[in-house]
Amino acid sequence: MSNTTTMVFLDSGDPAETRRAINLLGKIDGQTTNPSLVVKNPEVSKFLTDGKKFSESELLDIYKKIILEIREEMDGPLSVEVNASWDSTWEDLLRQAESMSAWTSNINIKFPTTNAGVKAAQEFIACGGRVNMTLVFDQTQAAAVYVATQKTQEPAFISPFMGRWDDRGFAGVDLVGNIRKMYDAFNAKRNVDTNHVKILAASIRTMDHLYASLALGADILTIPLTTIEQWLAEGKKIPGAEYVVDRKGLKAIEYQELELKENISEYDIVRTEGTLLDEGLKKFAADWNSLLE
């Protein structure tokens, strides 16, 4: 986009919103989708309102149809999410990824950043796949993603979720800044100056989130149409060097000094009831299940 090197993705499962965003901005750099957004798609919503449900194959067919319609509108990276839960094995996630990636060009598969998801992503990348690691809430997850994606042929994406930290009383924007700082340190240790993982700021709920993400070094913003409209109404401002992040009285997320390790297995992503990762994964699974017979 003009005036900034940060890319702008639309966060939506509705091709009509893709067209609207392009009309407003002139272009969008990509688009992210997920089960929650598929539920909101007008075609799917009407189907559910009529009291109908999908078989698994029917649901995948309609998801593919939506993705192909979006692809007709824009040719940037297009994120598609696998159906995952805590019980998903990496082999199951990989099988889904291989099928979904064949739908159209430039698909980034959204794996949950669990131990199984990170392993699946590493295997998928080894076969030339593109990934967007989602449901990221801490630096341990981000470190595992960094290690797992070092051999990616195309930049990998990582999606830290800010808004849900705000709900817990912490400044979610700190997660973006902490990951940026850690990745820069990892790059320096490896003596590389190219980021093989692009930080995709997600769960952007306010203009403060948007401006802080730009200021803190996010490579990509993924934002809903309403946020694009509000940004334009505010003149599509880009924060300068003088910008000060306003945490609105929320607690800071403290930076952790994590070592760059050799293997993904050295970063254990613990399953703990009630954590943001636990809640997020269960919600995404529930959205998929709400559509199935």
Q: How far apart are the first and last CA of the chain?
A: 42
pLDDT of residue 100: 97
Q: Is 110 a catalytic residue?
A: yes
Q: By C-alpha distance, which of 45, 54, 58 is closest to 293? A: 54
pLDDT of residue 1: 38
Q: Which domains does the chain have, with CATH numbers?
A: 7-289 (3.20.20.70)
Choosing from 64, 65, 110, 251, which is the catalytic residue?
A: 110
Burial class from Cβ neighbours inside 10 Å (0-12, 13-18, 19+) for residue 189 reads exposed
pLDDT of residue 287: 83
pLDDT of residue 121: 98
Both tokens of 38, joined, read 């598929």
Residues of the chain with pLDDT under 70: 1-4
pLDDT of residue 4: 63
pTM listed for this prediction: 0.94
In whole angstroms, how far apart are CA 28 and each of 31, 206, 223, 239, 241? 8, 20, 11, 20, 25
pLDDT of residue 43: 77
pLDDT of residue 58: 87
